[in-house]
Amino acid sequence: MKPAYDGNQWTVDARGYSIRNGYEWVRPKQAKYDWCKIVCSKWNYPKHALISWIVMNNGVMIKERLFQFNCCTDDRCWICDSDTKTQSHLFYDCQYSKQVLRLTEQWCGFRIFVSSSNSRTGSSAGAGLKQTVHNLIWTAYYYYIWNQRINFQLLKPGSVADKIKEDVRRKIRRKLDKTCTRADNTWLQKWGVAIE
């Protein structure tokens, strides 16, 4: 606390010291995460939101951790067999995951930014409905890549991208009402989703 005083005066707040502002001064400041709003969106499937939350909090049990506890014989990624299977590798560096993301981006027509920094997310989607669709794709991506990690039979990247697309289409059909703008409706028709 000593650096917060100058000549016996509490310098942080002109009104003087209080327990509250003393606590605020000493506690570590954490960055606000952009992903919280995406994960907690009412549009998301609960299972997608849960897995995305776990990923963003670095809590996915992956082969690297199991290897440390002698639960498996190696720590290689069983999807691509090219690197140690860390959470960062699985979601951001694995060629399989990159291909799924690339196929999904080709379908939706904008860039999906996934980042191992856990602090920033983004897209070139813009705002409104397109941003909502970006968020749906973002959480579905984490869910289906995680799901492939636990599957005994690995699906082709195109099949995983198709699952993401179908989940997004289904959610839009359920949630979007007829007040959709003409531009959004035209955009959705390209995806095979028409709001009548």
pLDDT in tens, 119-143: 445 555 556 777 888 888 989 999 9
Q: Which of 113, 120, 143, 141 is nearest to 35 (CA)?
A: 120
Kindly state the percentage of the chain with pLDDT values over 90: 15
pLDDT at residue 8 tops 60: yes
Distance CA 85, CA 187 (A): 38
Beta bridge partners of 194: none
The set of residues, in sequence order, having a beta carbon less than 8 Å from that of 184 and lying 6+ positions away, is 128, 129, 130
- Is residue 196 in a domain? no
Average pLDDT for the chain = 78
Q: Distance of alpha carbon 192 from its chain centroid, rounded?
A: 25
Q: Are residues 18 and 50 in the same domain?
A: no
- Mean pLDDT over 24-52 rounds to 80
Question: Which of the pair, 190 or 12, is modelled with greater confidence?
Answer: 12
Q: How confident is the model at residue 178 (pLDDT cuts 50, 70, 90)?
A: low
**Residues in contact with 54: Cβ distance below 8 Å, sequence separation at least 6, in sequence order:** 60
- Average pLDDT, stretch 173-187? 72
> Crossing angle, helix 129-150 and helix 182-189, to 10 degrees?
30
Residue with token string 């994960």: 39
With 80 as the cut, is the pLDDT of residue 99 above it? yes
pLDDT at 91: 85
CB-count burial class (<10 Å; 0-12, 13-18, 19+) for 128: exposed
pLDDT score for 119: 43
Residues 91 and 177 in one domain: yes
Q: 68 lies in which domain range? A: 35-189
Q: Are residues 79 and 3 in the same domain?
A: no
Confidence of residue 19 (pLDDT cuts 50, 70, 90): confident
Nearest to 43 by CA among 109, 118, 137, 124: 137
Q: Does 73 share its domain with 21?
A: no
At 120 the pLDDT is 45
How far CA 77 is from CA of 26, 67, 82, 87, in Å, comes to 42, 12, 7, 10
Q: 132 with 184: CB under 8 angstroms?
A: no
The three-class DSSP label of residue 10 is strand
**Does pLDDT of 195 surpass 60?**
no
Residue 195 within a domain: no
Residue 123, strand partner residues: 112
For the chain, what percent of residues have pLDDT higher than 70? 74
- pLDDT digits over 148-161, tens only? 877 767 899 999 99
Residues 40 and 127 in one domain: yes
Overall average pLDDT of the 9-34 stretch: 78
How many domains does one find in the chain? 2
Statement to judge: residues 14 and 40 lie in one domain: no
132 domain-assigned: yes
Least confident of 24-28, 49-53, 142-146, 166-170: 24-28
